[in-house]
Amino acid sequence: MNEKLKKALVIFIAIIFLLLFLQIIRKIIMLSGKQKEIVFEVSTEKLQLTDLIEKIKFEGVVEGDPQIKVYSQVPGKFEKNAVAEGDSVKKDDCIAYINRDIVGFDYKLAPVKSPINGIVTKLFFVDKGDAVLPQLPVAEVSNIDNIKVVVTTGERDLNKIKKGLIAKINAEYDESIAVSGNVFSVTPFVNKDTLAGSVIIKAENKEHKLKPGMSVKIEIETEMRKTFFIPEKAILTDEQGQYIFINENGIAKKINVKTGYQENDYMEITGDLKEGTEIVTEGSFKLFEGAKLNIINKELK
């Protein structure tokens, strides 16, 4: 056997032994060592029963209580107004005059009188000579010492709203302009065409903070109950519904839940839950059932 062939054979045998040695080392490492586990860093908080006051919110327009359109008792032509918009009037004060203008007769001007004490919020006629009919309003008078707001809502909310419930009414542009009122009435039936009904809210307005025609926001407190209220970001959704993860001895466990009332970034949940259970609030999106957890809650300052 020549020298070159001997060297090639030695190198080949050496490579075989080296590969066998590396394979043995690999098996030894696999048998003696453990594969490093993946640990997920998350933040948690404990479930606590919270006193929840459920609120239903609306937007509406302020009206006086009462707010009445005033009509002429006779047809004719508009002669003049006796008051200006914004003027205070008492019951039976004259608001406007109508010229009956019947050929062959000489009538005195017919007065249009206010039916209530209040403020003149609208005058419908300005130009002398305009035709006036008994079915057309001449003016509108509002009592602004008391106000009302009429809103429309669907049957879900109608079932929750009851007469006498507290309602907060505040100006659309300034929440500091507010009064407290109550639900005066709730329609007993749902309109079959609109699937909705009317709710009337009334309030005292002695300081005249709110004026007829103002846009307002309304909050009606419908129910108080104890419930679990958690950050919305802790709730996940898949094809089976909504769920959260809890920390069970350092292991992630999936719990199916149902959501309810929401306020800002918090949401009500119900399900197989107990007070004191530690739920994952941050980092839950990357978890799976059985994932190992490392809790990194930030201490409150």
The per-residue pLDDT for range 182-229, each reduced to its tens digit, is 999 999 888 888 888 999 999 999 899 999 999 999 999 887 888 898
User: What's the rounded mean pLDDT across residues 84-97?
Assistant: 93
**pTM (predicted TM-score):** 0.64
> Residue 212 and residue 66: Cα distance in Å, rounded?
11
At 300 the pLDDT is 39
Q: Residue 2: inside a domain, yes or no?
A: yes
User: What's the rounded mean pLDDT across residues 138-160?
Assistant: 91
259 and 273 co-located in one domain: yes
71 and 123 co-located in one domain: yes
Total domains in the chain come to: 3
Tokens of 235: 């709730």
User: Which residues lie below 8 Å from residue 240, measured CB to CB, with a gap of 6+?
Assistant: 256
Q: Residue 8: inside a domain, yes or no?
A: yes
Which of these, 229, 226, 211, 216, lies nearest to 167 by C-alpha position? 216
DSSP run (H or E) holding 157: helix 155-158
Q: Residue 245: inside a domain, yes or no?
A: yes
Contact between 178 and 171 (Cβ < 8 Å): yes
Cβ of 36: how many Cβ atoms within 10 Å?
A: 6
Contact between 118 and 129 (Cβ < 8 Å): no
261 and 284 co-located in one domain: yes
